[in-house]
């Protein structure tokens, strides 16, 4: 049978029998004497044995050398990647800049790159600055879903743990986890947050606050203002979200109570800035004094595509970034420790939720500019540092192609159509609402149609071929479909850009860094919590000690008093009991048939 054939090829024949040869080989390998006939051996025999022994020894030497060489070269390779000091830890004074492009997936980059090449007449090898610093990818699932939200995503970065969607730096058992920013602050670093959304929104919140649910933004504002078990932990905050800091007796408040958090922040030392003039008074950071709280919008700062024509009202992400870096650099000039800052391109995510490709390409370009500003800072600043940039997840299931008809699709998408728009769908929708309830309220419908067609579609969005049906649905909207989604879909279809959801998706997202030598642990494909581990490791922080402190600290109330009669973690807010599944994945229960827009109740979450 074939299986019983010898596995090794037969040896070349010699003048001696192969049986004796095999016995001798055994003896050489085992050291045992070969039972052999007592007979005289000739010179030729011993010469052969010697040659054979030498061949074996030589083979062993070659193998040993090869193994040693491989080991050494692997070690050498590792060393060249690991730029960190002895003991595998970074040494010396250093700064860490962590950037989050909320909701930016790989397709956001492709779409924006092509959009920019097309609209600015650049060559096909012209890339974004980010493209030139790509070092890896991140897997984004949370503890209770393959599709994370921003809260669980940012908790992975801030605490280095997986938690459930909606968790603001609390673990699946609803206990608080220490964050890299808190640990940095306790270790003597200056700390900062720069965002384009509300400062109480999930991503910034996860670095400085703890809450069982992201919607407890009033409590998050309190913690940011310094009502925190560890006291004030953040030195610089810039972004939107003023409404959660103003008492509900004030215009522009969205708080549920009449507490004045601006006053609380001021009492805790914050210098408060509330508008563009306040921002400009910082003179790029040279006039800034820490701690600093800059709330430059009631809610979110407008999308870049809309902000650029209101530059006198709102600073850009790049401006805030440059000012914050200068401020923190100056503030740490003579200290032993540098700074940690989290900078977020927050609204890339919102453009994804809105399925608005125009808003998104401008958000990504604005983020790329901020990233370039950080690189420039790192190059010029005398303190070494690193910037790591990643996303918490992708939003929208964006696709740079779209089948519009039943017939087989064309292979293309049309960036020029996005270039015609001057504003976002959000902007056009706000203008439509204002017109319909204000100036145009009593207009004849034909005049209202003309306003929609001329002003909103042609002038603002660059759509010159709207059908009567499209105009009609904007004038008499389907109650289940918000009109900003109609505007966004009109833009997307014309550019042949596809979206699979108004929510998030599970695709891996990119990791970027100023230098793969400094950020070597993040090269390749990683779980998102490893990014959190990197942040703590780079600054050599003991985040676990902060967790211990938060979990064992006396029962804590908003005013900082001990409250022995309260439940231990009541300051984290109601976990909403059994409604929140914090671990394990949901399973199929026929949702595709029964789920309607009314049942979902998930519209407001990002």
Q: Could you give the 3-state DSSP secondary structure of residue 509?
A: strand
The residue nearest ligand NAG at its CB is 257
The option from ligand NAG, Zn ion, none interacting with 223 (CB < 5 to 8 A, set by class) reads none
DSSP assignment of 193-237 equals EEEEEETTSHHHHHHH--BSSTT-HHHHHHHHTT-STT----SEE
Contacts to Zn ion from residues 132-151, by CB under 5 A: 150
Q: Is 442 marked as binding a ligand?
A: no
Is the Cβ of residue 130 or residue 254 nearer to ligand NAG in the bound state? 254
| Residue with Cβ nearer Zn ion (107 or 395) | 395
- Pick one of 188, 231, 256, 603: the residue that binds ligand NAG (CB under 6 A): 256
Nearer to ligand NAG, 143 or 253 (CB): 253
Q: Does the footprint of Zn ion cover residue 349 (CB under 5 A)?
A: yes
DSSP-derived letter for residue 502 is S
- 349 assigned to a ligand binding site: yes
Q: Which of 26, 126, 173, 258 binds ligand NAG (CB under 6 A)?
A: 258
Strands 292-295 and 236-240, sheet pairing: parallel
What does the block give as tokens for 372?
């370039």
150 is catalytic: yes
> 353 among the known binding-site residues?
yes
Residue 258 interacting entry, from Zn ion, ligand NAG, none, C-beta within 5 to 8 Å by type? ligand NAG
Of 101, 138, 150, 492, which is the active-site residue?
Answer: 150
Q: How many C-beta atoms surround the C-beta of residue 238 within 10 A? A: 28
> Under the criterion CB under 5 A, does residue 306 sit at the interface with Zn ion?
no
**In the chain, count of helices (H) and strands (E)?**
22, 12
Q: Least CB distance from residue 226 to ligand NAG, whole Å?
A: 20
Instruction: For residue 410, state whether it binds ligand NAG (rule: CB under 6 A).
Output: no
Question: Residue 323, annotated ligand binder?
Answer: no
Residues whose CB falls within 8 Å of the CB of residue 172, separated by 6 or more in sequence, listed in order: 143, 144, 162, 163, 164, 582, 583
**Should residue 344 be labelled a site residue for Zn ion when binding is judged by CB under 5 A?**
no
Whether residue 504 is annotated as binding a ligand: the answer is: yes
Q: Which is nearer to ligand NAG, 248 or 551 (CB)?
A: 248
- Specify burial of residue 125 (Cβ count, 10 A radius: 0-12, 13-18, 19+): exposed
Distance CA 528, CA 531 (A): 5
| 344 interacts with, out of Zn ion, ligand NAG, none, CB within 5 to 8 A per kind | none
The answer to whether 365 touches 112, Cβ cutoff 8 Å, is yes
Closer residue to Zn ion, CB minimum distance, 100 or 457: 100
Confirm or reject binding of residue 166 to Zn ion (CB under 5 A): no
Site for Zn ion in 376-415 (CB under 5 A): 392, 395
Binding partner of 150, given ligand NAG, Zn ion, none, CB within 5-8 angstroms per partner class: Zn ion
The answer on whether 203 is annotated among ligand-binding residues is yes
DSSP assigned state of 344: E
Yes or no: say if 512 and 518 are a contact pair by the CB < 8 Å rule.
no
Of 257 and 410, CB closest to ligand NAG: 257
**Range list of H helices, 476-583:** 483-495, 528-538, 543-552
Full 3-state SS string of 381-443: CCCCEEEEEECCCEECCCECCCCCCCCCCCCCCCHHHHHCCCCCHHHHHHHHHHHHHCCCCCC
φ/ψ of residue 526, rounded to 5 = -135, 155
363 contributes a contact to Zn ion by CB under 5 A: no
Neighbours of 70 (CB within 10 A): 10
Residue 248's binding partner out of ligand NAG, Zn ion, none, with CB under 5 to 8 Å set by partner kind = ligand NAG
Question: According to the binding rule CB under 6 A, does residue 248 interact with ligand NAG?
Answer: yes
Footprint on this chain of ligand NAG (rule: CB under 6 A) = 248, 256-258
* Active-site amino acid positions: 150
Tell me which residues touch Zn ion (CB under 5 A).
Answer: 102, 150, 349, 392, 395, 606
Annotated binding site: 102, 201, 203, 344, 349, 353, 392-393, 504
**Binding-site residue positions for Mg(2+):** 102, 201, 203, 344
């Amino acid at each position: 049978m074939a299986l019983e054939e010898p596995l090794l090829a037969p040896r070349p024949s010699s003048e001696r029998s192969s049986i004796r040869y095999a016995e001798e080989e055994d003896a050489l390998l085992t050291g045992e004497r070969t039972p052999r006939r007592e007979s005289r051996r000739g010179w030729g025999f011993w010469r052969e044995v010697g040659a054979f022994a030498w061949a074996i020894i030589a083979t062993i030497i070659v193998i040993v050398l090869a193994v040693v060489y491989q080991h050494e070269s692997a070690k050498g390779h590792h060393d060249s990647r690991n730029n960190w000091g002895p003991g595998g830890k970074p040494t010396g004074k250093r700064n860490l800049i962590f950037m989050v492009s909320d909701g930016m997936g790989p397709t956001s980059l492709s779409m924006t790159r092509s959009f920019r090449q097309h609209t600015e007449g650049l060559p096909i090898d012209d890339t974004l600055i980010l493209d030139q610093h790509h070092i890896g990818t991140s897997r984004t699932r949370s503890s209770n879903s393959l599709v994370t939200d921003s809260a669980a995503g940012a908790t992975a970065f801030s605490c280095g743990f997986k938690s459930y969607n909606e968790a603001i730096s609390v673990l699946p058992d609803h206990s608080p986890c220490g964050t890299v920013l808190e640990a940095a602050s306790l270790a003597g670093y200056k700390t900062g947050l720069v965002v384009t959304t509300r400062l109480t929104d999930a991503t910034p919140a996860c670095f400085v606050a703890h809450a069982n649910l992201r919607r407890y933004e009033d409590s998050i504002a309190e913690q940011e203002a310094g009502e925190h078990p560890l006291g004030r932990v953040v030195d610089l905050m810039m972004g939107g979200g003023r409404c959660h800091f103003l008492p509900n007796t004030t215009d522009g408040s969205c708080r549920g109570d009449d507490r004045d958090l601006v006053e609380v922040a001021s009492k805790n030392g914050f210098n408060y800035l509330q508008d563009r003039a306040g921002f400009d008074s910082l003179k790029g950071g040279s006039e800034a004094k820490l701690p600093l709280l800059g709330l430059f919008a009631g809610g979110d700062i407008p999308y870049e595509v809309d902000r650029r024509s209101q530059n006198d009202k709102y600073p850009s992400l790049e401006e805030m970034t440059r000012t914050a870096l200068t401020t923190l650099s100056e503030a740490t000039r003579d200290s032993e420790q540098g700074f940690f800052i989290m900078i977020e391109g927050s609204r890339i995510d919102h453009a994804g939720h809105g399925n608005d490709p125009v808003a998104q390409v401008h958000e990504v370009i604005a983020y790329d500019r901020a990233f370039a500003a950080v690189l420039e800072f790192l190059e010029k600043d005398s303190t070494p540092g690193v910037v790591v940039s990643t996303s918490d997840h992708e939003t929208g299931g964006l696709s740079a192609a779209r089948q519009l008809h039943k017939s087989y699709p064309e292979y293309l998408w049309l960036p020029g159509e996005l270039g015609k728009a001057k504003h976002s769908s959000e902007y056009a929708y706000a203008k439509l609402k204002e017109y319909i309830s204000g100036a145009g309220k009593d207009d004849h419908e034909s005049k209202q149609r003309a306003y929609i067609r001329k002003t909103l579609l042609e002038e603002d969005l660059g759509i010159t071929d709207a059908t009567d049906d499209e105009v009609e649905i904007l004038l008499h909207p389907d109650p289940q479909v918000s009109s900003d989604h109609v505007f966004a879909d009109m833009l997307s279809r014309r550019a042949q850009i596809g979206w699979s959801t108004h929510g998030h998706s599970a695709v891996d997202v990119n990791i970027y860094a100023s230098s793969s030598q400094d950020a070597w642990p993040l090269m390749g494909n990683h779980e998102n919590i490893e990014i959190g581990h990197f942040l703590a490791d780079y600054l050599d922080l003991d985040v676990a000690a902060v967790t211990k402190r938060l979990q064992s600290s006396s029962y804590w109330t908003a005013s900082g008093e001990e409250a022995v009669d309260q439940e231990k973690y009541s300051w984290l807010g109601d976990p909403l009991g059994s409604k929140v599944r914090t671990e394990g994945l949901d399973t199929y229960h026929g949702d595709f048939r029964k789920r309607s827009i009314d049942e979902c109740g998930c519209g407001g979450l990002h």
